[in-house]
A and B are shown apart, each in its own frame.
Chain A
């Protein structure tokens, strides 16, 4: 409990940095109190507004793609359980959950080996004569949201499906039997028996995903960022990090962190309220 208080709650105190003009070697007690100056500074001129808007756009774009495709793991689980060959199914499940257990650094290393200008994909294109000049998959700012979505999906799809597989296992056997007795085809069974039983799980997970809309995490975007894609890859978490660690502007980044956390809490409670309204039960 003490550890939790220290590492999860004490950092909240760090929010005071947002109200001071803090530069690293000088202790906070000697830094001047500046009130809401840093919050104003976020929107003080057009350049900063544009930058912040771009960051928010990226955050919304990447999170939005994730939410748009949030039904993929469910689909994955439904069709995986449809496979009758046990060995094949186990093999697929084992192999597709593997990427979830490697770090983003390793994902980046794999991506780099495959898609960099000297990587295997370009080597293959060159060998087969499909392309003369290397395709710059990683150094391009086009489609960054899509590629980020692709890597995240690659990493987590098989793993996320496990929850749904658990839900499918929980379906009452008699429902299936009834459906077959009524002469339902496979697709009809999926539509009328499996899918409705999955909806509660799907909604809970969707709500959680919406609640953490602003929290893309740092690691994935940090490892994939480079001079070429910086504009379209900077999500809020990465932006905060770059501001503080790259630019030394601790106070501004704490201010953004703080706004972000507050908005997240509001989101969480609105989604929770919505869930209570729609389904009669909350998620927290």
Chain B
């Protein structure tokens, strides 16, 4: 397995976790090393192969992939699947919903985490201990799915776009991350600003926000991934198909893809003459193509941000 095959390039500017001490290498050490290499390569293969195999299946001849015959490389390459899948009604709308909740939700969550994390890092915050506990305890304790659902319903947050956004704005874990980060910054910065006559909001906005970029990037990417991946809230709260998210649509497709392929093929029959066997939609091809569309943003964004959030988590873990 090479880098070019998977599309991932390891980043050499990552944190170096090797210990620099020289050591004598014995025969047993060599055997152990070899075993380590083999096991890790194997696990890496298991992690990546499912993604790779779905990608090659979506661009292969659909009759072959429906029989499960595409295993190592694509056969009969074509891109009709991606063209056809966008003709499925509702998919574009779901894309807009997923994108919308990701963007809006992430902005609000980052803002709230930054401000609350900053407040909790202040020595003299009013009732700090109580409010901090009040926040943290929700990580361990909740009423349960159904009481939560009934609450959302009594607040009229079912079939409402706000239901995707509001519950996740205040996230204790992110607040801890920001708090730890802010506490690690030099106190003098804030003191100097307050001597210059800056109020608490000015300090937050002018001093803390600019230096907190790395941790806020971490929070942003986590919260964006959460929003994009979220499935349970649609499942529980939404019956209106206009508010379906991509994840929910995909789940439905896995369970009822055969009827969809008939639908797409009927639509196609009108426009193009007769689709050949290789490009004719099958339930497998639709399911896999939608999977790729849903997973693509993560695959694209992930290698860029991986360096950031690993660092962010390590900072948080070492300090807190």
Contact = CB atoms under 8 A, between A and B. Distances in A.
Interface of A: 1, 3-4, 6-15, 17, 79-84, 86-99, 101-106, 108-110, 112-114, 118-124, 126-127, 154, 157-158, 162-163, 165-170, 173, 176-177, 180, 185-187, 189, 211-212, 218-219, 222-223, 237, 240-241, 244-245, 250, 253-254, 256-258, 260-261, 264-265, 268, 284
B143 A123 contact: no
Nearest to B141: A265
Contacts of B36: 79, 82-83
A219 B150 contact: no
A11 B152 CA distance: 8
B159 to A, nearest CB: 15
Give the most central of B14, B44, B66: most A CB within 10 Å. B44
Contacts of A237: 145
B147 A90 contact: no
A4 B112 CA distance: 11
10 contacts: A15-B143, A79-B36, A93-B14, A94-B303, A98-B302, A102-B298, A113-B287, A186-B23, A187-B28, A264-B140
A245 B237 CA distance: 11
B77 interface: no
B146 interface: yes
A201 to B, nearest CB: 8
B256 to A, nearest CB: 13
Contact of A118 (B18, B68, B137, B235): B68
A250 B317 contact: no
A94 B70 contact: no
B155 interface: yes
A96 B43 contact: yes
B263 interface: no
A77 to B, nearest CB: 9
B47 A95 contact: yes
B271 interface: no
A107 to B, nearest CB: 9
A173 B21 contact: yes
A7 B318 contact: no
B66 A118 contact: yes
A90 B23 contact: no
Nearest to B221: A101
Given A169-B314, A186-B29, A261-B141, A109 B254 contact: yes
B48 to A, nearest CB: 5
Interface of B: 3, 6, 8, 10-12, 14-23, 26, 28-29, 32-33, 36-37, 39-41, 43-44, 46-48, 50-51, 53-54, 57, 66-71, 131, 134-138, 140-151, 155, 166-167, 169-170, 225, 228-232, 235-236, 247-248, 250-251, 254, 284, 287-288, 291, 294-295, 298-299, 302-303, 306, 310, 313-314, 317-318
A113 B52 CA distance: 12
Contact of A8 (B15, B142, B248, B303): B142
Contacts of B53: 113-114, 120
A218 B147 contact: no
A185 B318 contact: no
Given A91-B44, A113-B284, 20 more contacts: A4-B170, A83-B36, A90-B10, A90-B12, A91-B8, A98-B299, A102-B295, A103-B231, A105-B248, A112-B287, A123-B71, A163-B317, A177-B21, A187-B28, A237-B145, A240-B144, A240-B146, A257-B147, A261-B141, A261-B142
Nearest to A119: B68
Contacts of B170: 1, 3-4, 7
A173 to B, nearest CB: 7
A219 B230 CA distance: 10
A212 B139 CA distance: 11
A102 B43 CA distance: 17
B71 A167 contact: no
Nearest to A222: B235
B109 to A, nearest CB: 11
Given A94-B303, A244-B146, A250-B146, A163 B67 contact: no
B318 A162 contact: no
A15 B151 CA distance: 10
A96 B250 CA distance: 24
Given A176-B21, A257-B144, A7 B149 contact: no
Give the most central of B32, B41, B131, B142: most A CB within 10 Å. B142
Given A120-B71, A123-B67, A95 B8 contact: yes
Given A7-B167, A17-B147, A118-B67, A113 B10 contact: no
Contacts of B50: 110, 113-114
B307 to A, nearest CB: 9
List 8 tightest A-B contacts by C-beta distance, closest first: A123-B68, A257-B144, A14-B147, A90-B10, A103-B229, A11-B143, A8-B138, A166-B317
A203 to B, nearest CB: 15
A122 B28 CA distance: 39
A265 to B, nearest CB: 6
Contacts of A173: 19-21
Given A94-B10, A98-B302, A168-B17, A17 B29 contact: no
